[in-house]
């Protein structure tokens, strides 16, 4: 007897369709799984057997072959359990074979016959979009939010059998368990005292998706500022939400029962993170890394200099291309990596940035600054020196604006940018810059002077213009950019490694 | 310079080579070296450490330290001597021994004179009046400007600027002194000879003369060796080890008639030089700074303890007894006059380095207006930026 049941497995952040073919034939009783299952997959034999027996369903005493088609691809994870169990029952004639062609099954089985939730429910249901999909109860909320097709659920294997035979109704209602907190409103920008420039830099960064580097002594509030940036970003649109949910779902162990992710994600990996943790890969599943998890949100790297140089260099290609291509001998995957990079660092090992106050010895200082040199620093559109607020906030009588006020301005500027070329200002190409960010005569002159003086490189020239575009947008100047906007854009590009070089001073 | 070097190549005597090799031995500091050379001529001294000659009583008492003789015999090889000779000849390093005719006369009566000196250039640079200029390696922009301006003005008045060629204040003092020589040369070419010869700079360094440290000052080493003199007590090839710097500072203090501290933190290495100077009754002058400026903590403390504060080269000249107050004022400020509002901003922010954040808060401007003001002031030359910090530049510009 033969049955074929549809299911899916996870690769990277995408699901891929798997047909579980079960053949129960004559021969010595036995059970083989073929089609490149991994260890977890192969163990499903024992789980399925126990689940069937606990549900008072028969385990066939025949020679059973389970093939996971397409057999060339490696399968991983326990999400095929339910499909194998249903296939076994159908192969024994306990379920009508024809009805199975309308369904797909994605769930792990417990030894007691219960359905267990799996990682990556969103990408998995999206892979079986042409069928009605059966998932565990805990995955129902996420799965039904992600797909337009019907998603059913049941509590146990026995219930699945009953439903398939038409004796009971499927469970369709999502248990309403709203998420306990919104990361977005937990941290308000109003908590930041003083630091007007740093606040402005956050606003510009959020409005134009410009990568931001905060340089300052310990205790200057760099981390505090970075945590508040994510609140300034707008909620994700449908497309972004599905993409973000797919990524998070494929690594999450707790389940996103509240539906799609709508808040911009915030990831702050520790500086000991490995290359694989950062860009993804690792297991046969090709787990997404921090850069993918931060997609459509903020990736915050605190103590940038402490990260391994290889890890930082690995960020360069995703920063340019907004996706990460991972290739291994067996597989290659493409995962989204469209993140806003925010980094914080001390100006030198001793942390005292003030000229004349630094107590580092020269070699240590040079070694420290060398870590940032070149291409990576160049990719930060905004480089801002942050000073300790203790003196300044005493002087400042101004209470900070709250996140909601600034976020409204950011949203306005972003929609202005989107109306131009359908992207944020940091995505403007060099060709688009001329029409999107025309300069006044004075502004042009200023830029020429900066270029001639050697303060700006070719790449820096374009980056400054993009930032100036965002500054102009925020200040209600949607047309041309004048020199005031440029001045600020130039000031927010501190060349903080320049302390190393002896600057030529004119008499 | 080149011809001097080739002359030096020919006349490195056996005494000089032996003395140089002695310097390169481990455990032979300035004191032991002095004792050795006081009681033996260099070649005999070399034979003594090799164990080939009988040491004098004093010397044998000195060598009677656990393991010292074994160590010296082990290290004092012909190889070492050849190596040092090679290095001297290759780089054109000259040697003078205590008691030689060209040994700097200021050092003869010193508390702890170096027994052997290695040098580039011409030691007669030390014959004019000498002012030591020292300060922190991580100086503020104001400090660097001030150092180079004071040094420039001193050199113009035929004062020899002595410094340590470290990063920061030291290097900028020397740049200022070299600038004075340059403009004197330019004046001579234009048939406009200066009333006075310009003083030549002297650098005292801690490492061997063929070991440039810090690397970034390589050009400066060459220029000083060419225009003035570059002196070291360490044998060629000696790395810039930490213990050599306080020893270098002692020579620097000994060579100075007046010591000027431009900027120093209260724990800086400059304070060692100040101590050495005070031991030798050398007048110490300090440039005052804002109490908010960490780099001026040391100098302000010196002033508190009674050092004379100075605000320009004029005060140093007075301390040297070279009063030229009646000479015509040769300074002007080529920068554009500031508007009243800009002038107010400048006086508000002067004193210590500030960030853009502080500027916005203290000036009360919006971020964009603040950026425009800073851009304008920088273009006019009133402020400079470095690594995100801004400083007001308040020095007068010398006339060229």
Query: Are A213 and A250 contacting, i.e. CB atoms less than 8 angstroms apart?
Result: no
Query: Are A234 and A414 contacting, i.e. CB atoms less than 8 angstroms apart?
Result: yes
Task: Give the pLDDT of residue A133.
Answer: 93
Q: Is the dihedral of CA A156, A159, A163, A164 positive or negative?
A: positive
Determine the Cα–Cα distance for residues A129 and A136; give it in Å rounded to an integer: 17
Query: Are B154 and B199 contacting, i.e. CB atoms less than 8 angstroms apart?
Result: yes
Task: Give the pLDDT of residue B395.
Answer: 58
Task: Give me A378's structure tokens.
Answer: 């160049």
Interface contact A496, partner B, CB < 8 A: yes
Whether B337 shows a pLDDT value over 90: the answer reads no
Is there a contact between B391 and A355 if contact means CB atoms under 8 Å apart? Answer: yes
**Pairing state between β A115-116 and A108-109:** antiparallel
- B374 contacts on A by Cβ (under 8 Å): 487, 491
- B296 contacts on A by Cβ (under 8 Å): 356
Sheet strands (E) in chain B: 94-97, 116-121, 129-134, 159-163, 202-205, 229-232, 258-261, 283-286, 308-309, 331-332, 383-386, 389-392, 397-398
- A482 contacts on B by Cβ (under 8 Å): none
Phi–psi pair at A301, nearest 5 degrees: -110, 100
Confidence of residue A499 (pLDDT cuts 50, 70, 90): very low
Quick one: residue A222, left, alpha or beta (phi over 0 = left, psi -120 to 50 = alpha)? alpha
Query: Are A120 and A143 contacting, i.e. CB atoms less than 8 angstroms apart?
Result: no
Confidence of residue B107 (pLDDT cuts 50, 70, 90): very high
Whether B343 shows a pLDDT value over 90: the answer reads no
Interface contact B269, partner A, CB < 8 A: no
Is there a contact between B139 and A200 if contact means CB atoms under 8 Å apart? Answer: no
Q: Is B190 exposed, middle or buried (0-12, 13-18, 19+ CB in 10 A)?
A: exposed
Task: Give the pLDDT of residue A84.
Answer: 94
Query: Are A65 and A25 contacting, i.e. CB atoms less than 8 angstroms apart?
Result: yes
Is there a contact between A487 and B375 if contact means CB atoms under 8 Å apart? Answer: yes
Question: What is the pTM assigned to this prediction?
Answer: 0.76
Q: Which residue of B has its CA nearest to A198?
A: B357
Q: At what angle do helices B244-255 and B270-279 cross, to 10 degrees?
A: 50
Distances (CA, A) of B185 to A70, B121, B196, B197, B399: 86, 18, 12, 10, 15
Task: Give the pLDDT of residue A397.
Answer: 64
Task: Give the pLDDT of residue A87.
Answer: 94
Whether A391 shows a pLDDT value over 90: the answer reads no
Determine the Cα–Cα distance for residues B309 and B293; give it in Å rounded to an integer: 16
Find the CB nearest B358 among A392, A487, A501: A392
State which H helix or E strand residue A344 sits in: strand A340-345
Angle at A324 between CA A321 and CA A327, to 5 degrees: 130
Task: Give the pLDDT of residue B7.
Answer: 46
Interface contact A396, partner B, CB < 8 A: yes
Q: Which residue of A has its CA nearest to B366?
A: A196
Q: Which residues contact B86 (CB under 8 A, 6 or more apart)?
A: none
Summarised one tens digit per residue, pLDDT across range B183-195 is 888 888 887 777 7
**Touching A: B residues 169-188, CB under 8 Å:** 171, 179
HSE-CB of B248 using CA atoms within 13 angstroms: 28
Interface contact A353, partner B, CB < 8 A: yes
Confidence of residue A282 (pLDDT cuts 50, 70, 90): confident
State the smallest CA–CA distance between residue A80 and chain B in angstroms.
57
Whether B369 shows a pLDDT value over 80: the answer reads yes
Task: Give the pLDDT of residue B335.
Answer: 74
Q: Is the dihedral of CA A206, A211, A217, A223 positive or negative?
A: positive
Determine the Cα–Cα distance for residues A445 and A442; give it in Å rounded to an integer: 5
CB atoms within 10 A of CB B304: 10
Confidence of residue B332 (pLDDT cuts 50, 70, 90): low
% residues pLDDT > 90 (chain B): 51
State the smallest CA–CA distance between residue B130 and chain A in angstroms.
23
Determine the Cα–Cα distance for residues A480 and A473; give it in Å rounded to an integer: 10
Average pLDDT over residues A412-418: 92
Is there a contact between A494 and B353 if contact means CB atoms under 8 Å apart? Answer: no
Distances (CA, A) of B237 to B88, B118, B207, B212: 9, 12, 8, 10
**Touching B: A residues 170-199, CB under 8 Å:** 194-198
Interface contact B371, partner A, CB < 8 A: yes
Q: Which residues contact A178 (CB under 8 A, 6 or more apart)?
A: A258
Confidence of residue A129 (pLDDT cuts 50, 70, 90): confident
CB atoms within 10 A of CB B239: 11
Task: Give the pLDDT of residue A175.
Answer: 57
State the smallest CA–CA distance between residue A467 and chain B in angstroms.
13
Task: Give the pLDDT of residue A479.
Answer: 85
Task: Give me B7's structure tokens.
Answer: 């002359």
Determine the Cα–Cα distance for residues A137 and A115; give it in Å rounded to an integer: 8
Average pLDDT over residues A448-469: 86
Read off the DSSP letter of residue B89: H
State the smallest CA–CA distance between residue A311 and chain B in angstroms.
25
State which H helix or E strand residue B237 sits in: none
Determine the Cα–Cα distance for residues B200 and B198; give it in Å rounded to an integer: 6
Sheet strands (E) in A220-272: 266-267
Task: Give me A65's structure tokens.
Answer: 């072959």
Question: For the ranges A170-174, A240-244, A312-316, which has the lowest average pLDDT?
Answer: A170-174
Whether A240 shows a pLDDT value over 70: the answer reads yes
Helix or strand or coil: residue A491?
helix
Task: Give the pLDDT of residue A343.
Answer: 93
Angle at A362 between CA A358 and CA A367, to 5 degrees: 105
Altogether, the residues listed in chain B come to a count of: 400
Q: Which residue of B has its CA nearest to A394?
A: B361
State the smallest CA–CA distance between residue A193 and chain B in angstroms.
11
Read off the DSSP letter of residue A302: S
The 3-class SS string of A158-224 reads HHHHHHHCCCCCCECCCCCCCCCCCHHHHCCHHHCCCCHHHHHHHHHHHHHCCCEEEECCCCCCHHH
Closest listed residue to residue A106, CA positions, set A77, A129, A135, A85: A135
Average pLDDT over residues B77-106: 92
Confidence of residue A254 (pLDDT cuts 50, 70, 90): low
Average pLDDT over residues A316-337: 88
State the smallest CA–CA distance between residue A76 and chain B in angstroms.
51
Interface contact A408, partner B, CB < 8 A: no
Average pLDDT over residues A284-304: 90
Angle at A62 between CA A61 and CA A63, to 5 degrees: 140
Summarised one tens digit per residue, pLDDT across range B222-256 is 999 999 999 999 999 999 999 999 999 999 999 99
Determine the Cα–Cα distance for residues B273 and A184; give it in Å rounded to an integer: 57
Interface contact A484, partner B, CB < 8 A: yes
Task: Give the pLDDT of residue B201.
Answer: 95
Average pLDDT over residues A324-352: 88
**Touching B: A residues 253-312, CB under 8 Å:** none
Q: Which residues contact A145 (CB under 8 A, 6 or more apart)?
A: A245, A259, A260
Summarised one tens digit per residue, pLDDT across range B14-43 is 999 999 999 999 989 999 999 999 999 999
Q: What is the mean pLDDT of chain A?
A: 86
Query: Are A302 and A273 contacting, i.e. CB atoms less than 8 angstroms apart?
Result: no
Query: Are A192 and A400 contacting, i.e. CB atoms less than 8 angstroms apart?
Result: yes
Closest listed residue to residue B152, CA positions, set B317, B16, B5: B317
Closest listed residue to residue A345, CA positions, set A229, A226, A460: A226
Query: Are A121 and A145 contacting, i.e. CB atoms less than 8 angstroms apart?
Result: no
Closest listed residue to residue A283, CA positions, set A84, A448, A40: A40
Interface contact A355, partner B, CB < 8 A: yes
Summarised one tens digit per residue, pLDDT across range B260-314 is 999 999 887 899 999 999 999 999 999 999 888 889 999 999 999 999 999 888 8
Task: Give me A449's structure tokens.
Answer: 């002077």
Query: Are B308 and B315 contacting, i.e. CB atoms less than 8 angstroms apart?
Result: yes
Instruction: Give chain A's radius of gyration (CA, Å).
Output: 28
Confidence of residue A211 (pLDDT cuts 50, 70, 90): very high
Whether A206 shows a pLDDT value over 70: the answer reads yes
**Touching B: A residues 35-54, CB under 8 Å:** none
Confidence of residue A86 (pLDDT cuts 50, 70, 90): very high
Determine the Cα–Cα distance for residues A242 and A238; give it in Å rounded to an integer: 6
% residues pLDDT > 70 (chain A): 91
State the smallest CA–CA distance between residue B219 and chain A in angstroms.
12
DSSP string computed for B351-366: TS-B-HHHHHHHH---
Whether A471 shows a pLDDT value over 70: the answer reads yes
Task: Give the pLDDT of residue B331.
Answer: 56
Determine the Cα–Cα distance for residues A209 and A467; give it in Å rounded to an integer: 9
Phi–psi pair at A319, nearest 5 degrees: -60, -35
Determine the Cα–Cα distance for residues A78 and A478; give it in Å rounded to an integer: 54
- A352 contacts on B by Cβ (under 8 Å): 294
State the smallest CA–CA distance between residue A390 and chain B in angstroms.
11
State the smallest CA–CA distance between residue B275 and chain A in angstroms.
21
Whether A145 shows a pLDDT value over 80: the answer reads yes
Summarised one tens digit per residue, pLDDT across range A21-74 is 999 999 899 999 999 888 888 899 999 999 999 999 999 889 999 999 898 888
Closest listed residue to residue A300, CA positions, set A376, A216, A214: A214
Chain B contact probe: residue of A205, A213, A346, A355 with most B CBs at under 10 A: A355
Interface contact A479, partner B, CB < 8 A: no
**Pairing state between β A298-301 and A266-267:** parallel
Task: Give the pLDDT of residue A394.
Answer: 55
Q: Which residue of A has its CA nearest to B179?
A: A507
Determine the Cα–Cα distance for residues A236 and A252; give it in Å rounded to an integer: 19
Task: Give the pLDDT of residue A502.
Answer: 37
Chain A contact probe: residue of B367, B378, B397 with most A CBs at under 10 A: B367
- B335 contacts on A by Cβ (under 8 Å): none
% residues pLDDT > 90 (chain A): 37
């Amino acid at each position: 007897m033969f049955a074929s049941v549809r299911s899916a497995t996870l690769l990277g952040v995408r699901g891929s369709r798997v047909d579980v073919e079960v053949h129960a034939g004559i021969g010595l009783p036995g059970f083989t799984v073929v089609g490149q299952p991994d260890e977890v997959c192969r163990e499903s034999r024992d789980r399925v057997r126990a689940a069937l027996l606990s549900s008072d369903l028969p385990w066939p005493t025949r020679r059973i072959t389970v093939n996971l088609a397409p057999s060339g691809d490696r399968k991983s994870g326990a999400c095929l359990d339910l499909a194998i169990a249903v296939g076994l029952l159908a192969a024994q004639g306990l379920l009508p074979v024809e009805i199975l062609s309308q369904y797909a099954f994605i769930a792990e089985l417990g030894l007691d016959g219960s359905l267990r939730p799996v990682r990556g429910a969103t990408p998995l249901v999206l892979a079986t979009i042409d069928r009605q999909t059966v998932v565990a109860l805990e995955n129902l909320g996420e799965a039904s939010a992600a797909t337009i097709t019907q998603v059913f659920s049941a509590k146990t294997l026995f219930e699945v059998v009953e439903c398939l035979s038409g004796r009971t109704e499927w469970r369709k209602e999502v248990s309403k368990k709203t998420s306990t907190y919104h990361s977005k409103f937990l941290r308000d920008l109003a908590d930041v005292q003083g630091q007007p420039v740093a606040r402005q830099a956050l606003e510009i960064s959020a409005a134009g998706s410009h990568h931001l580097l905060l340089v300052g002594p310990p205790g200057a509030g760099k981390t505090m500022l970075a945590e508040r940036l994510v609140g300034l970003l707008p909620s994700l649109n449908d497309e972004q939400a599905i993409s973000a949910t797919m990524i998070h779902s494929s690594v999450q162990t707790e389940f996103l029962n509240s539906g799609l992710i709508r808040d911009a994600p915030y990831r702050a990996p520790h500086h000991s993170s490995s290359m694989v943790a950062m860009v993804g890969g690792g297991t046969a599943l090709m787990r997404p890394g921090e850069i993918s998890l931060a997609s459509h949100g903020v990736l915050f790297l605190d103590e940038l200099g402490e990260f391994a140089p290889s890890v930082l260099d690995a960020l360069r290609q995703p920063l340019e291309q907004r996706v990460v291509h991972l290739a291994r001998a067996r597989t290659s995957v493409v995962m989204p990596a469209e993140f806003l990079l925010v980094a914080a660092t001390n100006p030198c090992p001793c942390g005292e940035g003030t000229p004349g106050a630094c107590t580092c010895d020269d070699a240590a200082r040079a070694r420290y600054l060398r870590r940032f040199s070149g291409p990576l620093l160049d990719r930060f559109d905004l480089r801002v020196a942050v000073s300790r607020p203790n003196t300044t906030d005493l002087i400042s009588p101004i209470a900070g604006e709250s996140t909601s006020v600034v976020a409204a301005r950011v949203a306005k500027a972003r929609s202005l940018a989107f109306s131009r070329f359908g992207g944020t200002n940091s995505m403007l190409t060099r060709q688009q810059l001329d029409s999107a960010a025309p300069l006044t005569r004075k502004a042009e002159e200023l830029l020429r002077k900066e270029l001639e003086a050697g303060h700006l490189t070719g790449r820096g020239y374009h980056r400054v213009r993009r930032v100036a575009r965002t500054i102009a947008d925020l200040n209600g100047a949607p047309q041309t950019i004048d020199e005031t906007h440029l001045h600020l854009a130039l000031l927010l590009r501190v060349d903080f490694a320049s302390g190393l070089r002896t600057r030529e001073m004119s008499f | 310079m080149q011809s001097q070097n080739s002359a030096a190549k020919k006349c490195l005597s056996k005494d000089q080579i032996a003395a140089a090799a002695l310097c390169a031995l481990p455990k032979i500091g300035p004191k032991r070296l002095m004792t050795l050379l006081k009681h033996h001529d260099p070649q005999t001294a070399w034979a003594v450490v090799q164990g080939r000659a009988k040491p004098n009583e004093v010397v044998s008492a000195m060598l009677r330290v656990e393991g010292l003789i074994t160590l010296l015999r082990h290290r004092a090889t012909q190889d070492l001597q050849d190596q040092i000779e090679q290095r001297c000849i290759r780089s054109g390093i000259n040697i003078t021994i205590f008691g030689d005719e060209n040994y700097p006369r200021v050092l003869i009566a010193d508390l702890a004179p170096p027994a052997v000196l290695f040098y580039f250039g011409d030691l007669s640079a030390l014959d004019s009046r000498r002012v030591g200029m020292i300060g922190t390696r991580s100086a503020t922009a104001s400090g660097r400007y001030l150092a180079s301006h004071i040094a420039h003005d001193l050199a113009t008045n035929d004062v020899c600027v002595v410094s340590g060629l470290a990063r920061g204040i030291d290097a900028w003092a020397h740049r200022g002194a070299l600038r004075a020589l340059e403009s004197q040369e330019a004046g001579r070419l234009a048939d406009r000879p200066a009333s006075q010869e310009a003083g030549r700079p002297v650098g005292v360094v801690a490492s061997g003369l063929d070991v440039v440290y810090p690397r970034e000052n390589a050009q400066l080493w060459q220029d000083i060796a060419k225009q003035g003199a570059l002196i070291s007590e360490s044998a060629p090839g000696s790395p810039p080890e930490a213990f050599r710097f306080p020893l270098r500072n002692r020579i620097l203090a000994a060579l100075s008639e007046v010591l000027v501290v431009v900027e120093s933190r209260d724990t800086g290495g400059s304070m060692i030089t100040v101590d050495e100077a005070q031991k030798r009754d050398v007048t110490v002058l300090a440039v005052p700074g804002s109490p908010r400026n960490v780099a001026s903590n040391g100098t302000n403390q010196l002033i508190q303890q009674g050092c004379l504060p100075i605000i320009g080269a004029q005060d140093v000249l007075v301390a040297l007894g070279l009063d030229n107050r009646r000479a015509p004022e040769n300074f002007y400020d080529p920068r554009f006059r500031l508007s009243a509002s800009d002038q107010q901003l400048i006086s508000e922010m002067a004193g210590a380095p500030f960030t853009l954040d502080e500027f916005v808060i203290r000036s009360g401007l919006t971020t964009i207006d603040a950026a425009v003001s800073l851009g304008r002031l920088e273009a006019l030359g009133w402020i400079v930026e470095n690594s995100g910090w801004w400083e007001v530049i308040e020095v007068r510009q010398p006339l060229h």
